[in-house]
Chain A
Amino acid sequence: MRGYVPSYKLISPASLADALAALAREPGDWQPFAGGTDLMVLLESGKLSHKNYLNIWNLSELRGIEVSGAGITIGALTTYTEVQSNPILRREFPMLCQAASETGGLAIQNRGTLGGNIANASPAADSPPALLVYNAELELLSVRGSRWVPYQSFHTGYKQTTMQPDELLARIRLPRVWPDLNHYYRKVGTRKAQAISKVCFAATARMDEGIIGVIRIALGSVAPVPLRCRKTEEVLQGAMLNDSTIEKARAELAREIVPIDDIRSTKNYRLRVSLNLLEDFLRGLAPDSA
C-alpha cells in the first residue's frame, strides 16, 4: 500500500548553499530527492521510511558535463539521457553510455540521474560497474567543504556508503583513458528493456602482443556492493591470453564474487553467467576474434 502522502515533506532549497545549510542544520533529518525514480517506487509500495526530503532537482550547480585534458567531470544531477547523448562520453566512456541507455525506458532516463544511481547505493545498479572500471572519483560537498573520494572505496556494505549525513554527492570525475582500450559491458536481465539486472559486467583491457596489459573488471548484483574484482585482475595482469589463463581467471572470479538467491535470480545462475561473461570478454581480446 502506498505511503501516507501527507506525512512526507519535500522542500525546495533555492540554491546549493541553501541545500547544504539544510543538510548541516539537522544532519540526517533531510535527505536529497533528485529524479525520484527510486524513491517514488518505494513510496508507492509503502517502503519509503524516511519522511523529510530536499528537492535538489532544480539546483543548476549540480548539472552539466565539463571536459578538461585530464578528465571529464559530470554533475550529479546529469540524467541518463544527458550521459548517453554526450559525444565525449560516448567516445571515451562507452560503457557508461551503454549503462545509461539500458537503465529503464526513455521516461526513466529523462529523470534518473547518475548521482542518484550512485547515492542510492543499490548493488544492482547499472552504472557502478562501469564507474569502477573507469576509476571514477566522487566529490562530496558539505558546509565543511569539498572532498574527493575514489569511487571504489565509496560503498562499504549493502546500501552503506562513506557519505556523511550532511554531505551531498556533487560531481563525478572520470580520468581520461587511453583510446586503444577495449570496452566490454553486458547487462543480463529478464528482458532487454526496463529490466533490473541479474548480473551486470563491465571490463576494459589492452593487449600487448598476446600479453594482457591493463585490465579492469567490475560486476554488479553479485555482492552486497558493486564489486571491483582486483584478485581476478591480478591473475590476468601480465599473463599470456590462453585457455589456461582463462581457466585460472574463472576460478579466481568464482572465489571473488558472492552472489545470492533473491527475487531476481539465483546464486547458481549468477555465478555461471558471471564466469561465462568473463570468458566471453577475454576471448574477445584475442586478435583473431576481431
Chain B
Amino acid sequence: MESASNKIKIAFAVNGRTQSVEAYPMERLLDVLREQLNLTGTKEGCGEGECGACTVVIDGQIVNSCLVPVGQVAGASIKTIEGIASGQQLHAVQQAFIDCGGAQCGICTPGMVMAAMDLLERNPNPTEADIRTGLAGNLCRCTGYMKIFDSVVRACQNESS
C-alpha cells in the first residue's frame, strides 16, 4: 500500500531518559514503547481505550498509550511500569500487589499498578469509592478485583506507616 507519510524523528523522555525514535506520526505510543524501546511491561489489551492494560503516565497524567499517536508526545515526559521502582526497591504499590496476590495472569497488572500509583499520588488517603473510581478504567478478567482492591488498601497503609 502507498505510504503518504514519512517517518519523523521524535524526542521525548521515558523514565527520566531522553529517547529519540523514528516513527510514523500516527504510530501508537504503545507500539513505539514496546517495539522500539523494548519496554514490554506496558501491555496491549483491547486496543481501544476500554481496558487500561496499556496505561502509562504522560506529563503527570495517566493515559491509554494505545490511543496516543507518537506524533503527539514530542517533548513529553513519559513514565512506564519499568520506571516506578527505585533500583531494586519496589514501589509500595508493586510490593502490595505481591503481598496481597493482586495479580493472576498479569496482563492487567502493569496498568492496574500505574492507575493505583496515580490515585495514591493524587489522593494518599482514598476512600473505598475513590479506589473504585481510580481503577474504573482498568479491567481484570482473573481476580474478581477484590485482591487488587486489597492491594491498593495495603499500599496506602504501608505508605502512611
Which residues of A line the B interface, CB within 8 A? 2, 4-12, 33, 35-37, 40-41, 43-45, 51-53, 55, 57-58, 81, 104-108, 110-111, 192-194
Contact = CB atoms under 8 A, between A and B. Distances in A.
A111 B68 contact: yes
A40 B4 contact: no
Contacts of B27: 5
Interface stretch (B59-67, B99-107, B147-155): B59-67
A81 B118 CA distance: 14
Contacts of A108: 49, 64, 67, 137
B128 to A, nearest CB: 14
A107 B72 contact: no
B1 A107 contact: no
Contact of A106 (B5, B25, B115): B115
Contacts of B61: 81, 110
Interface in B40-89: 47-50, 52, 55, 61-64, 66-69, 71-72, 74
Interface of B: 1-5, 24-28, 47-50, 52, 55, 61-64, 66-69, 71-72, 74, 115, 118, 133-134, 136-138
Contacts of A57: 72
Contacts of B52: 105, 107
B136 A36 contact: no
A35 B3 CA distance: 24
B112 to A, nearest CB: 12
Contacts of A36: 67-69, 72
Nearest to A45: B48
Contacts of A45: 48
B67 A7 contact: no
A110 B63 contact: yes
Nearest to A195: B50
A5 B26 contact: yes
Contacts of B48: 40-41, 44-45
Contact of A193 (B2, B26, B71, B137): B137
Contacts of B26: 5, 8-10, 43, 53
Identify which of B3, B25, B27 gathers the most chain A CB atoms within 10 Å of its CB: B25
A25 B52 CA distance: 39
A194 B64 CA distance: 13
A7 B5 contact: yes
A80 to B, nearest CB: 11
Given A12-B71, A44-B48, A105-B52, A194 B136 contact: yes
Contacts of A111: 63-64, 67-68
B27 to A, nearest CB: 5
B72 A40 contact: no
Contact of B71 (A55, A81, A194): A55
27 contacts: A4-B1, A5-B24, A6-B1, A12-B72, A33-B69, A36-B67, A40-B49, A41-B48, A41-B49, A53-B26, A55-B71, A105-B52, A105-B136, A105-B137, A106-B115, A106-B118, A106-B133, A107-B52, A107-B55, A107-B62, A108-B49, A110-B61, A110-B62, A110-B63, A111-B67, A192-B136, A194-B50
A104 B49 contact: yes
